[in-house]
Structure 1
Amino acid sequence: MSTLEQLTADLTTSMKARDAFRTNTLRQMIGAVRAAEKSGKVARELTDEQVQAVLAGEVKKRRESAEIYTGAGATDRAENETAEADLIETYLPQALTSEQLDQVVAEAIAETGATGMKDMGAVMKAANARAAAVGRVDGKELSGRVRGALAGA
C-alpha cells in the first residue's frame, strides 16, 4: 500500500472514530500531496518517494512553526504544531541513528576518494544517495557530519 493510500485509509478510520485532531492533520497531508501533484505545468501522479518528500517538508514546516510559537510564548500552538509533526513522521521512514549516519558518511568518503573540503559536493551527493536507501536523514545534520569528517581528513 502506498503512502497516499495509507493516508486515505487512516483518514477514513479517524473520521469513523471521530478523532478530530487526526482527521484534520490527515486532511492537511492529503491536501499537500494533491497540491504537489497539481503544481507545475502538467498535473502528475507522485511516486511514493515524492509523497514522502512532501510529507517531510510538512514536518519541517511544523517544526519551524513550533519554534516560532514557542519564542512568541504561544505554547499551546507550539504543542499543536509539534503533535502534528509527530503524527506526520509516523508515515515517513525511520530516521538514521547517529551511528548509521557516521557509517554512511564514512562509506561516501571512501567511495568518492575525498581528501578535503573541496570534495564536499561529491561526498554529499553520494551520502544523500546512500542515506535515502537506508532511511531518512536531515540534510543539515548530514552536511555537518560530512564537513566535520572532511575537515578531519
Structure 2
Amino acid sequence: MSDDIQALDDWLSPLIAKLDAKQRRRLARKVAQDLRRRQRERIRAQTNPDGTPFAPRKVPSLRAKQGGIRRRAMFSKLSTARWLKATNQGDTAVVGFFGNVARLTKTHQYGLRDRVSRDGPRVEYAQRELLGFTAQDREHIAGSVLTHLDTV
C-alpha cells in the first residue's frame, strides 16, 4: 500500500510544485477535509481500508453487566470532528487522531495490548484499522488535485 501512496506522491509532486504557497495550502486543506470525510464514513461503516469488516467485540461473559455499549457501533464518537482532525501544515495535509485519544486509536489500529482501566487487566485488542487509504481514496485525491489544477 505504501508503494501506491509513494507512486501517487511521485506523480503529483511535480504538478503541485508549480503552484504558489497560497494555492498549495488551499489544496492541502481541501484534500484533508475530503479525506477526513471519507475516513469518517468508513469508520461509521465499520470497515477496514481493504474492505473487510472490523473484528467484532468479544462476547461478554454471562456475569457481565448487560448494557448499551455492547449494542452500539464501535468508534461512533471517534469519527466526529472533535476527535478525527483534518489539518494542514504548510502544504501538507494531515488527517488523524491527536491528544489522549491517539493512544486508544493506536491500540486498535495495530492490535496492541493495553489496560481496560487504570488498574485493570491487560487485554490484547483485535486489529481494527481506523485510518488508511483505499483505492477510491487515492483516486479521489488525484481527481481533486487535477480539478484544483484545472481551475487555477
Give the TM-score band, short-chain normalised.
Answer: under 0.3
Q: TM-score, normalised by structure 1?
A: 0.27
Higher helix share: 1
Q: TM-score, normalised by structure 2?
A: 0.27
Higher strand share: 2
